[in-house]
Amino acid sequence: MFLTISTALFSAIAKAEMSSEKGNTVDDQNVAPWEPTTSSISKQIIVSQQPGYGNYATIQAAIDQGVPENNAQWIHIFNMMDQSMRRDEDDNKERIQAVAACVKGDKIAFIQCYFVSVQDALFDFSGRHYFYKYHIQSYVDFIFAILGRAWEPYSRVIFFQSNFSDVIVPSGWDAWNYAGQEYNLEYAEMGCYGPGANTSQRVKWKKQLTQQQANDLLGNGFINSDEQNQMNIVRGLVQDQARQRAVAVHVGGDKIAFIQCSFMSVQDTLFDDVGRHYFYNCRIEGYVDFIFGSGQSVYEGCHIITYLGDSDYSGPGYITAQRRNSRNDPNGFVFKHCTVEGNPKVYLGRAWGPYSRVVFFQSNLSNVIAPAGWVAWDYTGQEYKFTYGEMNCYGPGANRSERVKWEKHLTQQQANDLLGNGFINTDGWLDQLPIKLPHP
């Protein structure tokens, strides 16, 4: 099954038509109209309880009647805004201990969905599934087999860079019926934060993952090893066409946001020239200086891919060529929660200006990164002026043992200045966009 469901509320409530396998209705007002958008979707099904506005009245009916058996094409079920069935109204109804949704098929994506019950809210039964910007509300085993206690002897759950409130029990995990077999369990937390992330009182058998284990679980291959089902707006349209060494887009204005956009070239792909810019969940491909300029920009959750194609270029590759001419210039490139992969190897960046500034934060760096990491280019001897840094990155390419000696170790104040809300959003312009963003 290939299926993506967006903006839906799956709930188990008293006096509601219930299904033992999948949730039924309704939706939420926070629709992000840009997700998902893909040329690979073969069919879109609209769900609405308002007569004449949709193909089906419930999510359950859309799945049962609109998705064929052994489906091998992407089908998007979109739950329209329905002001008569709001999540806050559902919160006031009595909930029962019942499954809100049972997910059995392979290759299913849930986008901005809600799963609400008291117990067993989400039965994540079998198959590869992707949940994005979702809300799960319950109390007991509300994600079957993955939240807190072992349903099977080799139970495996990882929390990565997640915000834990003080609702988390200090011990964290429960072996349940497998006491004495805890060595078989794979429960781990990596890079989490918040009051509940204090692991000083966790069970002693909580795992400390090796770098290889982390790569296997956190990388693209965990649920997307076949890569044939990528939700990407342009992949397949230009991937096999010959590319020129030329600028794909030139960004010269202030206060510009790019959401789920793709930029493809071989050299000088994205000319991030000047102004404050925010790139979210974008795909950027190239090999030489393919993100360059004097922009004051944040790249969050972006997929950065090195790609040389059939080009006859034989020199080294560089992801960034950032130009900053004065220590007082506010510009720089900040990469947060990004993934860097591809072929052949590249440097993280080279200096286009004497005060060049680039920071990678909590990003997955594959072995495509050249060990030295950075190049001074025409500013050899002035490396002390650069601000090149990496913070809490992971993956094979995050090994800094062979990095250039002049790479910066940022102070807490420097990190706050670059990673905080003030770097590009001091006047709140991102908050005024017509869509809700997880901006810095």
Tokens of 302: 């972006």
Closest CA to 110 of 4, 224, 230: 4
Q: Of the residues 289, 310, 312, 329, which is catalytic? A: 289
Phi, psi (rounded to 5 degrees) for 186? -125, 85
* Type of residue found at 390: E
Q: Of the residues 120, 124, 268, 272, which is catalytic? A: 268
- For this structure, is 90 an active site residue? no
- For this structure, is 289 an active site residue? yes
Distance (Å, whole) CA 147 – CA 138? 11
- The residues near 75 (Cβ < 8 Å, ≥ 6 apart) are 2, 3, 4, 41, 42, 43, 44, 45, 66, 67
Q: Which residues are catalytic?
A: 268, 289
